[in-house]
Amino acid sequence: MSTPIIYDTTLRDGSQTEGISFTVEDKVKIAEKLDELGIHYIEGGWPGSNPKDKEFFDVIRTKKLKNAKITAFGSTRKPGIKPSEDVNLNGLIDAQTPTITIFGKSWDLHVVDVLKTTLEENLHMISGSVDFLKKKGREVFYDAEHFFDGYKRNPAYALKAVLTAQDAGADAIIFCDTNGGCLPEEISKIISEIKGKFHIPLGIHTHNDLDLAVANSLAALAAGCTQIQGTFNGLGERCGNADLCTLIGILHTKLKIKSIPDKNVPKLMETSYFISEISNFKLPDNAAFVGHSAFAHKGGVHIDAMLKNPLAYEHIDPKVVGNHRRFVTSELAGKMPIIIKAQQMDILLDKKSPEAQKLLKDLQIKEHSGYQFEAADASFELFLKRSLKKYTPFFTLEGFKVATEKRFDGKIFAEASIRLNVNGEEKFCASEGDGPVDALDKALRQALNKFYPKLVEMHLRDYKVRVLNTQEGTAAKVRVLIESQDNTDSWTTVGVHENIIEASWEALIDSIEYKLLKDQKK
């Protein structure tokens, strides 16, 4: 199997994810992060489609990238005009990138029903567009859109379309499973049948509509493709694209194939969370290699085995991809998470020691009262440090007040004021918010930012409330779980109280203090 070329399309395909809208600044930051990781090609967008992408190419030209080539993306010329008259192709030239990727139709259905042109004209569009760009001195990749669907319906025409691009001077042909409906054996069979007809590199671009984008990419790689296109965190339209985090992880740890430099593989998780943060798109906890739960162990039997030999329940050392092992605290795990967390704080606890017995009893009391440390590992670590007198608070609350008002126009108005003591200095701040918890969070940050400026790196990603004893009606206890994230990690905290504001405050305070504690360790 050949060494693969990694082609990232997060800034283009990834931006088509529902709910994501990158600013120019966002796209530049992501491009620089991907370059730092060692990605070979970064597709910046479609300069002919919108002013934002055009501006991105203007800005990125001023940046000095060390590893990646920036690529502009567009389509073949429109039917019935010359390449030199096509606004899209001229926009690609104006982007001034060393590499240009254009897509064209391989599926006769698209040619006839979507482009509303003839099969012969489509071949002229492909040939003329590639030739035009090559004569402008660009490296040209040709994305054969819907190639596999086209090949299954009309193999002769689909093959003729991509061979036309090769004959016109394309530097690589990328086969696209645009609808994401193919199986790995189909990908492998089709590429194996036709690869002998090509004398230029071949690539693969898969979508994840069957949850097989990664498997299909690997099948294509095994069949002879050398370029893999995808997005970080599997972003993309509909069900997303092939996840480059997973693909890079598999290539390096399972297939022993270098794609990015070995020294950069431990940056994989950090890069994933960085892009998740900028995208404002939550990375699934169970994401392979980089997810928060990818190396989390809950059952007592699993934990016991892991302590004896980590290979028992882990397919790789999590450090290889920048992740870390976690032992989840729950009624299934017994004392082991307590013992292990204490060891991480350089405190040796024996299972039978009075300290361990007391900690377990206190933990059980808190869980019985509604706390769920299984889902709030950050709160558990703080609970342990406080219990073992290994924790110095970063600030002291002197009081807070929250008010909610519904105005005559129907809008809900929330305001919070807070008074803290930080390092002997009293600080008072007030803030408005979309709701009482949002207002409280903003007031708290205003009070602390002067003392702890790194708090700007974190934000709340999720807020969940559960009523615990519903038979108590409005006097019932509630459990609040808050998930927070910064540029490198995510963590969850918990609060429990009959008053939802107090429960939220507990979880909020733990979230802030865990971030400060994490930064203190660096």
| Tens of pLDDT, residues 24-76 | 999 999 999 999 999 999 999 999 778 899 999 999 999 999 999 999 999 99
pLDDT at 345: 64
What does the longest C-alpha to C-alpha distance in the chain come to? 85
User: For residues 275 and 33, is the Cβ–Cβ distance under 8 A?
Assistant: yes
Q: Is 280 exposed, middle or buried (0-12, 13-18, 19+ CB in 10 A)?
A: middle
The domain that holds 346 is classified in CATH as 4.10.430.20
Q: How far apart are CA 452 and CA 223, in angstroms?
A: 53
Q: How far apart are CA 506 and CA 492, in angstroms?
A: 12
Report how far apart, in Å, the C-alpha atoms of 290 and of each of 39, 329, 494 are.
Answer: 17, 21, 23
* 302 and 274 in a common domain: no
pLDDT at 367: 75
- Segment 330-358 shows an average pLDDT of 67
Last residue of a domain, one of 368, 392, 411: 368
Report how far apart, in Å, the C-alpha atoms of 462 and of each of 18, 79, 259, 483, 491 are.
Answer: 18, 48, 34, 5, 10
The domain that holds 240 is classified in CATH as 3.20.20.70
Q: Is residue 14 part of a domain?
A: yes
pLDDT at 282: 81
Q: Is residue 190 part of a domain?
A: yes
Confidence of residue 179 (pLDDT cuts 50, 70, 90): very high
9: number of Cβ within 10 Å: 28
Domain span at 56: 5-279
pLDDT at 355: 77
Residue 358 has pLDDT above 50, yes or no: yes
- Segment 87-105 shows an average pLDDT of 96
- Segment 164-191 shows an average pLDDT of 98
pLDDT at 200: 98
Q: Look at the block and give the residue holding tokens 């590199």.
A: 201
pLDDT at 304: 65
Q: How far apart are CA 80 and CA 85, in angstroms?
A: 10
Closest of 181, 186, 164 to residue 173, by C-alpha: 164
Report how far apart, in Å, the C-alpha atoms of 413 and of each of 46, 399, 402, 435 are.
Answer: 41, 21, 11, 7
Closest of 178, 157, 158 to residue 237, by C-alpha: 178
* 114 and 227 in a common domain: yes
Q: Please tell me the least confidently modeled range out of 11-25, 87-101, 469-483.
A: 469-483
* 318 and 249 in a common domain: no
Q: Look at the block and give the residue holding tokens 């429960």.
A: 503
User: For residues 338 and 328, is the Cβ–Cβ distance under 8 A?
Assistant: no
Q: How far apart are CA 254 and CA 221, in angstroms?
A: 14
Last residue of a domain, one of 248, 279, 310: 279
Q: Please tell me the least confidently modeled range out of 136-145, 238-247, 414-423, 458-467.
A: 458-467
Residue 473 has pLDDT above 90, yes or no: no
* 356 and 225 in a common domain: no
pLDDT at 475: 63
Q: Is residue 86 part of a domain?
A: yes
Global pTM reads 0.75
100: number of Cβ within 10 Å: 25
Question: Residue 5 — φ and ψ, nearest 5°?
Answer: -95, 125
* 223 and 361 in a common domain: no
* 327 and 226 in a common domain: no
- Please state, rounded to an integer, the average pLDDT across all residues of the chain: 90
* 305 and 267 in a common domain: no
* 128 and 43 in a common domain: yes
Domain count, the chain: 2
Confidence of residue 299 (pLDDT cuts 50, 70, 90): low
* 195 and 122 in a common domain: yes
pLDDT at 446: 93
Three-state SS for 202? strand
2-36 pLDDT, tens digit per residue, is 689 999 999 999 999 998 999 999 999 999 999 99
98: number of Cβ within 10 Å: 12
pLDDT at 390: 80
Give residue 314's Cα distance to chain centre. 22
* 313 and 193 in a common domain: no
Q: How far apart are CA 293 and CA 328, in angstroms?
A: 9
The first and second tokens of residue 24, run together, are 């120019």
User: For residues 455 and 448, is the Cβ–Cβ distance under 8 A?
Assistant: yes
pLDDT at 398: 94
Confidence of residue 332 (pLDDT cuts 50, 70, 90): very low
User: For residues 463 and 474, is the Cβ–Cβ distance under 8 A?
Assistant: no
Q: Is residue 518 part of a domain?
A: no
- Segment 363-380 shows an average pLDDT of 77
- Segment 345-351 shows an average pLDDT of 68
Most confident of 173-182, 278-287, 352-361, 442-451: 173-182
Q: Is residue 488 part of a domain?
A: no
| Angle, helix 268-279 to helix 244-253, in steps of 10 degrees | 180
256-286 pLDDT, tens digit per residue, is 999 999 999 999 999 998 898 788 888 898 9
Q: Please tell me the least confidently modeled range out of 63-77, 118-132, 469-483.
A: 469-483
Residue 331 has pLDDT above 60, yes or no: no
pLDDT at 55: 94
Q: Is residue 179 part of a domain?
A: yes
* 110 and 213 in a common domain: yes
Q: How far apart are CA 14 and CA 447, in angstroms?
A: 36
Question: Residue 467 — φ and ψ, nearest 5°?
Answer: -80, 130
Confidence of residue 373 (pLDDT cuts 50, 70, 90): confident
Closest of 415, 452, 404, 435 to residue 504, by C-alpha: 435
Q: Is residue 495 part of a domain?
A: no
User: For residues 280 and 267, is the Cβ–Cβ distance under 8 A?
Assistant: no
Q: Is residue 114 part of a domain?
A: yes
* 228 and 334 in a common domain: no
Last residue of a domain, one of 340, 368, 396: 368
Measured at the CA of 238, the angle between CA 322 and CA 57, to 5 degrees, comes to 70
